[in-house]
Chain A
């Protein structure tokens, strides 16, 4: 059974009262342990797909199932619980909270879930990304690559079933970006997580199990390796 399933999903936005179709009757299924890369031009609907897959937004029509649960049927509290327990996010601009230390940033999803031993878990996840020595630093004391690794540790801290990454190497130089991609691929395998990554990077596409080419809100091509 796929951990994530988008069935005939359409998403419309309104700009100046004019509807803009971001996704058009799109269907996609992703299983645990798969590393899926979304490629396509800007505006083709990659980020919209990620926001729907991550229970951050609702489709205009169609169904999004996360671990068998339709997100459209859930109220805000339940939707937040899905995001907290099933989904991990990695953002292009890292999105760390600058008033919190590295430890505190990574602990955040655990505290939101009311989990105990947050510090130990955070330290373990930081060791996965080889940053457990920098736990007491603040984000502004880190390099771009280090910040993205903290973001990855935070995304994995709840051991999510689905890991969503929106252009995670977009703000990094090529060599750091490649290191991050390799890290993501390795952790996907180790944690048996379904990873969906939107990217313009050809290197990322080369590492993927599934490459989804998107055009005008639709899947133009799907290549499995």
Chain B
């Protein structure tokens, strides 16, 4: 009880005597917590109900066949001729834009004759007798009920750069957390997309016996080379992984907002320690131990963090509403269609907010609080007798900065772990540390050089200001380091987001290499086009690695027509091939 009373009198009360600085610090923490919480809540909501519309309409399947450039239709015939009771469903998959409202929807071509025959899917034929007539018409579509269209109404779609008007022949329910889709008969979809003779996927349902592995083995024997047989929904899982990576990236970027909060906490506690140095000396002389002083200042930061988290929680919930729209749009545009779920502030979210607010505050206050605990009681006896000089070893710190900077360079070149650029984030963190270590020498040098000039131009006040800068090198260094790194990082992340968005919206597959033939950037379209396993493509991999991955995926036509020469001693010499019959 007496400790609490002490804490209130010596720590809490002085904090309230500086309302502006205290409010700014709490606000910074609140904003940091709010951004992290908003991104977390929005991410959960955006992905919470995620399930590809394409998968929903696919029904229950065990295996799927895919290949780059589409699976030849003849494979459907091959499968149907096998002496096994398989259900084979060929599919065309793409996107269509509703011209009226620019809404992008999945376009799915299904063998509606087979679907109807199986009695599995109901696409709401108005009249069973007219079904064949509808199916034979190229302008028939079936739409999800959420589009609000009725049978017989028209819908104008942009498909494959062609605008055409289609007639709604049926409406299917799409209320299971999925966005709507446009369904066509497979032949109409092939016609609209100009994909004659090919389908995007063939879904296969196999009997329960024998095992799935045995079915996989049997089917593989029957399939032509170059096509990939994999578990059904592998593409969805891939999308899930991409979505998870997207969320992970956003979450880590949101932590940048916390850096400012962390800095302000550091600054607040540092200023508090400097201003109250004599007070600390008095309390130490009266019998306070180092641990008590450390606990008091860490406690001060924890209180500020707690207040910040309390304010940040409702703020984060509000911000999540806007963030979920933005994230939903990005998910739609870059990955797969989904409908955001409700935003829920769960006990876990509240715990996370508290942990982030208090944790960041305590971590950033630890260093100045520790400095406070080392104030000797002697300082109470004769303030100013021993001038307070922060021990900054400039030369040693420059060497540490170089070492940490090299560590950052090494970390930035390391491959992703589990698809996550953990080392990249670690590199950013090391960069902040390196900046902070290098800054004392830099600030000191600049202040030294500028001092005579400042005196001449701006007078003695400017010299005093520059001296003040040099005398609080540690605090100044953290400020300059954090701000400069923040600025650079912000610019980089903006560019990355823009570049990623642009690359992933391209119709073409793209990959770019540096002068050493190492992969710099690529888009998802490129990876999907050649069916490259995600684990086999990474920043820094060579052309050779990529070609190996393509050979493994069966999407490099080594046995093709006229591949001239390929790779000699890791150097790209010349590749040309043509599929023209006269070549």
Instruction: Give the B-binding residues of A (Cβ under 8 A).
Output: 47, 50-51, 54, 56-57, 76-77, 80-81, 83-85, 89, 91-93, 95, 97, 99-100, 104, 108-116, 118, 154, 166
Contacting pair A97 B287 (CB below 8 A): no
How far apart are A64's CB and chain B's nearest CB, in angstroms? 14
Most buried by B among A108, A114, A116: A108
Closest to A55 in B: B377
Return chain A residues, CB-CB under 8 Å to B5. 111
B14 adjacent to chain A (CB < 8 Å)? yes
Cβ-closest chain B residue relative to A118: B2
Contacts of B288 in A (CB 8 A): 80, 112
8 Å CB interface, B275-309 against A: 278-279, 282-292
Q: List residues of chain B with CB within 8 A of the CB of A100.
A: 9-10
Of B167-175, B246-254, B378-386, B435-443, the one with at least 4 CB within 8 A of chain A: B378-386
**Is B287 within 8 A of A95, CB to CB?**
no
Tell me how far the C-beta of B75 lies from the nearest C-beta in chain A, rounded to whole angstroms. 79
Q: Does B133 sit within 8 A of A, measured CB to CB?
A: no
Question: B376 at interface (Cβ–Cβ under 8 A)?
Answer: yes
Min C-beta distance of A180 to chain B, whole Å = 18
Taking a contact as CB atoms under 8 Å apart, the answer to whether A56 and B285 are in contact is yes
In the complex, 7 of the A-B residue pairs with CB atoms within 8 angstroms, ordered by the A residue number, are A80-B284, A80-B292, A89-B380, A92-B382, A109-B286, A112-B6, A115-B2
* B3 on interface, CB distance cutoff 8 Å: yes
Q: By the criterion CB–CB under 8 Å, are B2 and A50 in contact? A: no
Pair B291/A112 contact, Cβ less than 8 Å: no
Whether the Cβ atoms of A56 and B378 lie closer than 8 Å is: yes
The answer to the question of B13 belonging to the interface, with a C-beta cut-off of 8 Å to chain A, is yes
Q: Is the CB of B378 within 8 A of A57?
A: yes
Contact A93 B383 (CB under 8 A): yes
Any chain A CB within 8 A of the CB of B17? yes
Q: Which residues of B contact A47 (CB under 8 A)?
A: 381-382, 385
Given A47-B382, A84-B287, residue A104 in contact with residue B9 (CB < 8 A): yes
- Contact of A57 with B376 at beta-carbon distance under 8 Å, contacts A80-B284, A104-B9 already known: yes
Verify A83–B286 contact, CB threshold 8 A: yes
Chain B contacts for A154, CB-based, 8 A: 286
Q: In the complex, what residues of A have CB within 8 A of residue B282's CB?
A: 91, 95, 97
Q: How far is the CB of A112 from chain B (nearest CB, A)?
A: 5
Closest chain B CB from A209 CB (angstroms): 24
User: Which 5 residue pairs of A and B lie closest in terms of their CB atoms, listed nearest first?
Assistant: A84-B287, A56-B377, A80-B289, A111-B2, A83-B287
A154 nearest in chain B by CB position:
B286
CA distance A153 to B283 in the complex (A): 15
Pick from B6, B292, B381: contact of A166, CB below 8 A.
B381
- A100 CA to B276 CA, complexed, in Å: 13
Chain B residue with minimal CB distance to A114?
B2
Provide the residues of chain A in CB contact with B13, threshold 8 Å. Answer: 99
A83 touches B291 (CB 8 A): no
From B6, which residue of chain A is reached at the shortest CB distance? A111
How far apart are B284's CB and chain A's nearest CB, in angstroms?
7
Q: Whole-angstrom distance between the alpha carbons of A206 and B487 in the complex? A: 69
Say whether chain B's binding surface is mostly helix, strand, loop, or mixed: helix
- Bound Cα distance from A56 to B379, whole angstroms: 9
Beyond A56-B378, A56-B381, A166-B381, whether A112 also contacts B287 by CB under 8 A is yes
CB distance from B297 to the nearest CB of A (A): 16
Tell me, in angstroms, the Cα distance from A62 to B282 when the chains sit together: 26
Closest Cβ of chain A to B275, distance in Å, is 11
Q: Which residues of B contact A116 (CB under 8 A)?
A: 2
Residue from the set A57, A77, A89, A112 with the largest chain B CB neighbour count within 10 Å: A112
Residues of B with C-beta under 8 A to A80? 284, 287-290, 292
Interface residues of B in 354-388 (CB under 8 A from A): 376-378, 380-383, 385
CB < 8 Å: which of A54, A76, A77, A110 contacts B285?
A54
Closest to A96 in B: B282
Instruction: A92 to B286: give the CA distance in the assembly, Å.
Output: 15
What residues of chain A lie closer than 8 Å to B381, measured between beta carbons? 47, 50-51, 56, 89, 91, 166
A89: chain B residues within 8 A (beta carbon): 285-286, 380-381
Interface pair A84/B380, CB less than 8 Å apart: no
Q: In the complex, which residues of chain B have a beta carbon less than 8 angstroms from the beta carbon of A81? A: 287, 289
Complex contacts, B376 vs chain A, CB 8 Å: 56-57
Q: Which of A76, A80, A89, A166 has the most CB of B within 10 A?
A: A80
Q: How far is the CA of A76 from the CA of B10 in the complex (A)?
A: 21
In the assembled complex, the Cα of A82 lies from the Cα of B282 at a distance in Å of 15
- The answer, among A95, A110, A113, A114, for a CB contact under 8 Å with B380, is A95
Please name all residues of chain B whose beta carbon is closer than 8 Å to the beta carbon of A77 when the two chains form the complex: 289-291
Residues of A within 8 A of B2 (CB): 110-112, 114-116, 118
Other than the known A91-B381, A99-B13, A154-B286, what 15 A-B pairs have Cβ atoms closer than 8 Å? A51-B378, A76-B291, A81-B287, A83-B286, A83-B287, A84-B286, A89-B381, A95-B278, A95-B282, A99-B14, A111-B2, A111-B6, A112-B287, A113-B287, A166-B382
- The residue from A76, A93, A97, A112 contacting B290, defined by CB atoms under 8 A apart: A76
Docked pose: A77 CA to B6 CA in angstroms: 18
Shortest CB distance A224–B (Å): 27
Residues of chain A with a CB closer than 8 A to B3's CB: 111, 114
Measured between beta carbons, the chain B residues less than 8 angstroms from A92 are 382
Residues of chain B lying within 8 A (CB to CB) of residue A111 = 2-3, 5-6
CA distance A95 to B381 in the complex (A): 8
- CA gap between A166 and B381 in the complex, in Å: 8
| Closest B residue, CB atoms, query A99 | B14
* B residues in contact with A115, CB < 8 Å: 2
Contacts of B377 in A (CB 8 A): 51, 54, 56-57, 83
A99 x B17 contact (CB < 8 A):
yes
Q: Across the interface, which residues of A come within 8 angstroms of B382, CB to CB? A: 47, 92, 166
Q: In the complex, which residues of chain A have a beta carbon less than 8 angstroms from the beta carbon of B292?
A: 80, 112
**Residue in B13, B279, B376, B385 whose Cβ sees the most chain A Cβ within 10 Å:** B279
Q: Closest residue to B386 on the A side, CB-wise?
A: A13
0/1 per residue, B23-41, Cβ < 8 Å to A? Answer: 0000000000000000000
Say how far A4's CB is from chain B's closest CB, in angstroms. 16
Cβ-closest chain B residue relative to A83: B287
CA–CA, A97 to B286, complex, Å? 12
Q: Point out the residues of chain B lying under 8 angstroms from A85, CB to CB.
A: 287
From A93, A109, A166, B287 is in contact (CB under 8 Å) with A109
Q: How far is the CB of A113 from chain B (nearest CB, A)?
A: 7
Which of B6, B376, B381 has the most chain A CB atoms closer than 10 A to its own CB?
Answer: B381
Complex interface: chain A residues within 8 A of B9 (CB) = 99-100, 104
B279 contacts across to A, CB distance below 8 A: 97
